[in-house]
């Protein structure tokens, strides 16, 4: 027998990709979100970019005890730009993480613990805006589900900024005095640190809220444009009257600007004097 639609049930009112679920007693972010990016040095200023972020998690269970034997996470991102923006469709990529019960390991750079991954943020002009910190923090938070498992070693190369991985609790043995290259030391997932510095200039929005804000801004712009058009039409009519009857137009404006207010002031003064008598 089919179940009747219940308008009071939240799970039936939100599309699955936009719904915030729970796992293990903790809330899980919606699969699709929108990130509002502001400049790290001007967090109170206008947004400098918008990103569409999609979260994909997979879990494979052991048929014998129903425990998770393998899992992976992929955080894909793409820059949201205007149709004819100079950014076009550029600015997209993904961060990945993996877990394997067989290898007793988790990876912060690949969906498979048996292969090395690459962390690269392809967002021209947005370097240093904590976007990479936000994305890696999502991977680290996910990996901490298996606190006793070893984290696959990460190779620190010159193109990575020193301190990026270190903020998550990783330590490196560097091969040079400038700390540009090195290999991460062994650590368990439970020893990793999650960070929230990204909150200083990055805000998360649900897709529905973001679309509602866009529609509201469009409606407001339409109302404002309509009001300005009416003001322009009124001004055109006034100029036309001034052109057709310049003498009477001048008299009317002089009266309304100077004589009218003076007469009104005199009338108020006379009335006030009469009341005082």
Q: Which of 264 and 56 is assigned the larger pLDDT? A: 56
Q: In angstroms, rounded to a whole number, what is the distance separating the alpha carbons of residues 95 and 144?
A: 16
Res. 277 pLDDT band, cuts 50 70 90: low
pLDDT digits 0-9 by tens, 91-101: 889 999 999 99
pLDDT digits 0-9 by tens, 158-216: 656 668 899 999 998 877 676 667 788 999 999 999 999 999 999 999 888 888 888 88
Look at residue 87 in the predicted model and tell me its pLDDT. Answer: 58
Both ends of the chain: CA-CA distance in Å? 89
Give the number of other Cβ atoms within 10 Å of residue 187's Cβ: 16
- Answer yes or no: are the C-beta atoms of 71 and 60 closer than 8 Å: yes
The pTM assigned to this predicted structure is 0.76
pLDDT digits 0-9 by tens, 44-76: 999 999 999 999 999 999 998 999 999 999 999
Look at residue 96 in the predicted model and tell me its pLDDT. Answer: 94
Residue 71: exposure state from Cβ atoms within 10 A (0-12, 13-18, ≥19): buried
Look at residue 5 in the predicted model and tell me its pLDDT. Answer: 45
Q: Which of 180 and 112 is assigned the larger pLDDT? A: 112
Lowest mean pLDDT among 66-70, 146-150, 166-170, 249-253: 249-253
Extract the tokens encoding 271: 């009335």
User: What percentage of the chain exceeds 70 in pLDDT?
Assistant: 78
Q: What is the 3-state secondary structure (H, E, C) of the chain?
A: CCCCCCCCCHHHCCCHHHCCEEECCEEECCCEEEEEECCCCCCCCCCCEEEEEEEEEEEEECCCCCCEEEEEEEEEEEEECCCCCCCCCCCEEEEEEEEECCCCEEECCCCCCCCCCCCCCCCCCCCCCCHHHHHHHHHHHHHCCCCCCEECCCEECCCCCCCCCHHHCCCEEECCCCCCCEEECCCEHHHCCCCCHHHHCEEEEEHHHHHHHHHHHHHHHHHHHHHHHHHHHHHHHHHHHHHHCHHHHHHHHHHHHHHHHHHHHHHHHHHHHHHHC
Look at residue 23 in the predicted model and tell me its pLDDT. Answer: 66
**Given a cut of 70, is residue 34 above it in pLDDT?**
yes
Give the number of other Cβ atoms within 10 Å of residue 96's Cβ: 20
Lowest mean pLDDT among 8-12, 52-56, 84-88, 174-178: 8-12
Q: Which of 207 and 21 is assigned the larger pLDDT? A: 207
Look at residue 1 in the predicted model and tell me its pLDDT. Answer: 43
Look at residue 94 in the predicted model and tell me its pLDDT. Answer: 93
**Given a cut of 60, is residue 267 above it in pLDDT?**
yes
Q: In angstroms, rounded to a whole number, what is the distance separating the alpha carbons of residues 141 and 195?
A: 9
Rounded to the nearest integer, the mean pLDDT of the chain is 83
């Amino acid at each position: 027998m089919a179940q009747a639609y219940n308008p009071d049930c939240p799970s039936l009112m939100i599309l699955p990709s936009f719904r915030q679920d729970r796992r293990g007693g903790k809330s899980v972010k919606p699969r699709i979100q929108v990130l509002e990016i502001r400049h790290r040095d001007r967090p109170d200023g206008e947004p400098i970019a918008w990103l569409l972020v999609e979260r994909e998690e997979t879990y494979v269970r052991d048929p014998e005890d129903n425990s998770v034997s393998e899992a992976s996470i992929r955080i894909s991102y793409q820059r949201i730009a205007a149709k004819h923006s100079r950014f076009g469709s550029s600015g997209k990529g993904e961060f990945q993480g993996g877990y394997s019960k067989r290898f007793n390991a988790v990876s912060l750079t690949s969906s498979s613990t048996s292969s090395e991954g690459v962390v690269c943020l392809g967002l021209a002009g947005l370097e240093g805006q904590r976007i990479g910190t936000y994305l890696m923090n999502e991977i680290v938070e996910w990996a901490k589900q298996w606190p006793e498992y070893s984290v696959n070693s990460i190779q620190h190369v010159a193109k990575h900024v020193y301190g990026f991985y270190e903020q998550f609790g990783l330590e490196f043995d560097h091969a040079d005095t400038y700390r540009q290259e090195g290999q991460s030391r062994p650590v368990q997932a439970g020893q990793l640190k999650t960070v929230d510095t990204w909150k200083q200039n990055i805000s998360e929005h649900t897709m529905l809220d973001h679309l509602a804000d866009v529609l509201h801004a469009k409606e407001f712009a339409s109302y404002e444009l309509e009001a300005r058009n009416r003001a322009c039409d009124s001004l055109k009519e006034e100029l036309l009257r001034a052109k057709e009857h310049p003498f009477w137009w001048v008299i009317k404006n002089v009266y309304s600007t100077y004589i009218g207010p003076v007469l009104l002031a005199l009338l108020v003064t006379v009335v006030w004097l009469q009341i005082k008598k």
